[in-house]
C-alpha cells in the first residue's frame, strides 16, 4: 500500500492522533487524510470518513503521530557499533575511530552501512535525519533508496580523510557534494559539516561557512563537547568554543551546533543572538562521559533545540524514542527537579522543534494540513503501554522504537506492519556481518 490510490488518497483512521501542532491537539478516534505527498486534513474519524473514497489504513488501538526527527547522525558509523566502548572522547576518537575510518571507510562500506542505519531508523519511527560524514554521495544514494527524508553533509576536517586525502581540498569536496546533490533527490537536502573547531583551522571554518552561505545550505559543527575542549580553546584563542565561532562570523540562523555541553550563559546569549540552533545528543554525551548540556537554560533563552542520537559508534543505537526518554529523565536527575523537561517538551524536540531547528519546520514535524505526509503509527496494544492515561507521557516514558507499526514518508508507506518495504533487510544485515568480520580482523 503506498500511493496507488492517488485519486482518493489514504486515510489513517481510528487511532489517537497526536498532532504536536501549535494548538497541542490530541484527537481521540481521529484520522489523518493524505493526498499524494501531503497531509490535507486532520480531525475526527467520523467527520472525515463520510465522503472519503480512497484507501483506509486502520489504526484503532494505535497512536498516529508525526515521524521522528534525528537531528544528528553519522549514518555509516553503524559499521563501528560497539567497536570501542567505555573510553574517553579523545582516546575513543583518535585511538580508535580515526584509524578505523582510515582502514575501512570506502564508498561501498558507506553505502551498505547507511542502508542499515536507515533501516534501523525507519523501523523505529524516524522519518527525517540530519547526517554528516565522508563519501556522502554514497550516503545519499542509500538514503534515497530507503525513502527517508534527510539533510546530508560532506565532512570537512584538516586531516587526510576518507575520499579527501588532501586536506587543502576539504571545503572544495564539500562544495562539490552540495552542488551535485541539489535537486537530485526530492527528499534530500545537501549541507556542509565541519567536524569541530579543534580539527578545523580558522581559515577552514570561514571558508566552509562562506561556501554554505553562498549555496544557502546548513553548516553543521560539533562544538563545546567537553570541558577539555573549552579549556583548550580558552588557552589557544582566549575565548570559549562558541565565542571563537562567533568571532569568526560562523554563527547565524543556518548554523547547527552539536553537543554544546561545556557552555555558559554568555555562550547561550551569543547563540540566541545569532539565531543558531543546538542539537542535544544526551546518550552519546553520557556514554563518552562528556557531561550534561544545559538544555533547560537553552530553552529558557529561546534557543531552538533538537534531539539526535549521534552515530552508532557512540550511542549505540538510533532509537529516537529512547533518546527522548533519556532527555526527559537525565535533566530531572541532574537538576534534582522532576518538573524539568516534561514529556511534551522532550517529544517536541524529537519532532516539531527538531524540524524547526533544521530549518524544515514548514515541511514536517507535526500533523497539519499542507505539511508533508511524514507519519508513523505506534501500536499501543502492548503490555508496557496499557492502560494509557496520557499519550504524550506514554510516547516518552513507555514507548520504544519496536512499537512502531507503520511508517509513511512523503505520503509513501515505507514500513507496513513492522515490515520494511523499501529495502531488503536480511541481505543488508548479511553484508554488514561480513564487513564487521573484516573490521574485527583488522581494527
For residue 410, the domain's CATH number is 2.30.40.10
Range of the domain at 340: 68-357
Could you tell me the strand order of the sheet in which 10-13 lies? 38-44, 30-35, 10-13, 55-58
Residue 243 lies in a domain: yes
Model pLDDT, residue 6: 59
Residue 297 lies in a domain: yes
| 76 and 176 both lie in a single domain | yes
| 58 and 206 both lie in a single domain | no
Q: How many residues does the chain have?
A: 443
DSSP letter for each residue of 98-133: HHHHHHH--HHHHHHHHHHHHHHHHHTTEEEEEEEE
Place of cell 576518507: 162
Please state, in angstroms and rounded to a whole number, the distance separating the CA atoms of residues 385 and 271.
39
Phi, psi of 165 (to 5 degrees): -70, -20
| 45 and 86 both lie in a single domain | no
Q: Coil, strand or helix: which one is 266?
A: helix
DSSP label at 181? H
| 72 and 147 both lie in a single domain | yes
Mean pLDDT across the chain, nearest whole number?
96
Model pLDDT, residue 4: 47
| 384 and 340 both lie in a single domain | no
DSSP label at 31? E
Please state, in angstroms and rounded to a whole number, the distance separating the CA atoms of residues 305 and 346.
10
For 437, residues 6+ apart whose C-beta sits below 8 A from its C-beta are: none
Residue 177 lies in a domain: yes
**pLDDT tens by residue, 386-426:** 999 999 999 999 999 999 999 999 999 999 999 999 999 99
**pLDDT tens by residue, 40-94:** 999 999 999 988 999 999 999 999 999 999 999 999 999 999 999 999 889 999 9
| 211 and 329 both lie in a single domain | yes
**pLDDT tens by residue, 346-384:** 999 999 999 999 999 999 999 999 999 999 999 999 999
| 28 and 75 both lie in a single domain | no
Model pLDDT, residue 8: 83
| 119 and 79 both lie in a single domain | yes
Residue 425 lies in a domain: no
Q: For strands 375-379 and 62-66, give the pairing.
A: antiparallel
Vertex 243 angle, CA 237 and 246, to 5°? 115
The number of distinct structural domains making up the chain is 2
| 274 and 379 both lie in a single domain | no
Q: Give the CATH number for residue 266.
A: 3.20.20.140
**pLDDT tens by residue, 275-284:** 999 999 999 9
Whether 37 has a pLDDT exceeding 90, the answer reads: yes
Q: What is the largest CA-CA distance in the chain?
A: 68
Q: Is the pTM of this model over 0.75?
A: yes
Beta bridge partners of 21: none
| 280 and 348 both lie in a single domain | yes
Place of cell 564508498: 107
Phi, psi of 435 (to 5 degrees): -65, -40
When pLDDT is averaged across residues 329-343 and rounded to a whole number, the result is 98
User: Nine-digit cell at 163?
Assistant: 575520499
When pLDDT is averaged across residues 8-37 and rounded to a whole number, the result is 97
Burial 335-364 (b: 16+ CB within 10 A, else e): eeeeebbebbbbbbbbbbbbbbbbbbbebb
**pLDDT tens by residue, 235-249:** 999 999 999 999 999
| 93 and 58 both lie in a single domain | no
Work out whether the CA dihedral 357, 363, 365, 366 comes out positive or negative. positive
Whether 3 has a pLDDT exceeding 50, the answer reads: no
**Class of residue 380 by CB neighbours under 10 A (exposed 0-12, middle 13-18, buried 19+):** buried
Whether 5 has a pLDDT exceeding 60, the answer reads: no
Q: Please state, for a pLDDT cut of 90, what percent of the chain lies above it.
A: 96
Residue 40 lies in a domain: yes
Please state, in angstroms and rounded to a whole number, the distance separating the CA atoms of residues 321 and 331.
16
Of the candidates 335, 357, 379, which is a domain's last residue? Answer: 357
Model pLDDT, residue 441: 85
**pLDDT tens by residue, 107-161:** 999 999 999 999 999 999 999 999 999 999 999 999 999 999 999 999 999 999 9
Residue 351 lies in a domain: yes
Residue 432 lies in a domain: no
| 349 and 266 both lie in a single domain | yes
- Provide the pLDDT confidence category of residue 304 given band limits of 50, 70 and 90: very high
Residue 362 lies in a domain: no
For 243, residues 6+ apart whose C-beta sits below 8 A from its C-beta are: 266, 267, 270
Amino acid at each position: 500500500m503506498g500511493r496507488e490510490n492517488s485519486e482518493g488518497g489514504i486515510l489513517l483512521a481510528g487511532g489517537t492522533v497526536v498532532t504536536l501542532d501549535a494548538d497541542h491537539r490530541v484527537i481521540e478516534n481521529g484520522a489523518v487524510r493524505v493526498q499524494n505527498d501531503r497531509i490535507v486534513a486532520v480531525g475526527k474519524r467520523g467527520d472525515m470518513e463520510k465522503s472519503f473514497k480512497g484507501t483506509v489504513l486502520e489504526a484503532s488501538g494505535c497512536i498516529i503521530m508525526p515521524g521522528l526527527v534525528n537531528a544528528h547522525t553519522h549514518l555509516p558509523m553503524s559499521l563501528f557499533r560497539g567497536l570501542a566502548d567505555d573510553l574517553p572522547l579523545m582516546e575513543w576518537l583518535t585511538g580508535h575511530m580515526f584509524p578505523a575510518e582510515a582502514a575501512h571507510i570506502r564508498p561501498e562500506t558507506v553505502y551498505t552501512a547507511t542502508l542499515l542505519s536507515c533501516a534501523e531508523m525507519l523501523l523505529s519511527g524516524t522519518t527525517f535525519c540530519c547526517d554528516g560524514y565522508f563519501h556522502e554521495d554514497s550516503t545519499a544514494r542509500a538514503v534515497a533508496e530507503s525513502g527517508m527524508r534527510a539533510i546530508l553533509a560532506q565532512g570537512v576536517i584538516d586531516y587526510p580523510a576518507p575520499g579527501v586525502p588532501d586536506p587543502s581540498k576539504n571545503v572544495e569536496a564539500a562544495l562539490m557534494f552540495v552542488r551535485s546533490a541539489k535537486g537530485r533527490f526530492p527528499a534530500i537536502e545537501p549541507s556542509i559539516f565541519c567536524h569541530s573547531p579543534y580539527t578545523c583551522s580558522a581559515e577552514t571554518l570561514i571558508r566552509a561557512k562562506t561556501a554554505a552561505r553562498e549555496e544557502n545550505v546548513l553548516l553543521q559543527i560539533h562544538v563545546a563537547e567537553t570541558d577539555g575542549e573549552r579549556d583548550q580553546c580558552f588557552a589557544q584563542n582566549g575565548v570559549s568554543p562558541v565565542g571563537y565561532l562567533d568571532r569568526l562570523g560562523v554563527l547565524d540562523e543556518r548554523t547547527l551546533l552539536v553537543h554544546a555541553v561545556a557552555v555558559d550563559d554568555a555562550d547561550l546569549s551569543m547563540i540566541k543572538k545569532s539565531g543558531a540552533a543546538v542539537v542535544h545528543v544526551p546518550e552519546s554525551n553520557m556514554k563518552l562521559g562528556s557531561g550534561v548540556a544545559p538544555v533547560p537554560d537553552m530553552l529558557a533563552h529561546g534557543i531552538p533545540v533538537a534531539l539526535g542520537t549521534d552515530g552508532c559508534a557512540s550511542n549505540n543505537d538510533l532509537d529516537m524514542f529512547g533518546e527522548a526518554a533519556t532527555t526527559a529523565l537525565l535533566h530531572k536527575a541532574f537538576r534534582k527537579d522532576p518538573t524539568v523537561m516534561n514529556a511534551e517538551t522532550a517529544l517536541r524536540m524529537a519532532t516539531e522543534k527538531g524540524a524547526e531547528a533544521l530549518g524544515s519546520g514548514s515541511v514536517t514535524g507535526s500533523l497539519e494540513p499542507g505539511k508533508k505526509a511524514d507519519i508513523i503509527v505506534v501500536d499501543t496494544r502492548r503490555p508496557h503501554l496499557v492502560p494509557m492515561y496520557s499519550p504524550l507521557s506514554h510516547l516518552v516514558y513507555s514507548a520504544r522504537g519496536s512499537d512502531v507499526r507503520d511508517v509513511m514518508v512523503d505520503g509513501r508507506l515505507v514500513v507496513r506492519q513492522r515490515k520494511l518495504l523499501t529495502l531488503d533487510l536480511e541481505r543488508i544485515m548479511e553484508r554488514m556481518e561480513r564487513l564487521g568480520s573484516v573490521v574485527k580482523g583488522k581494527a
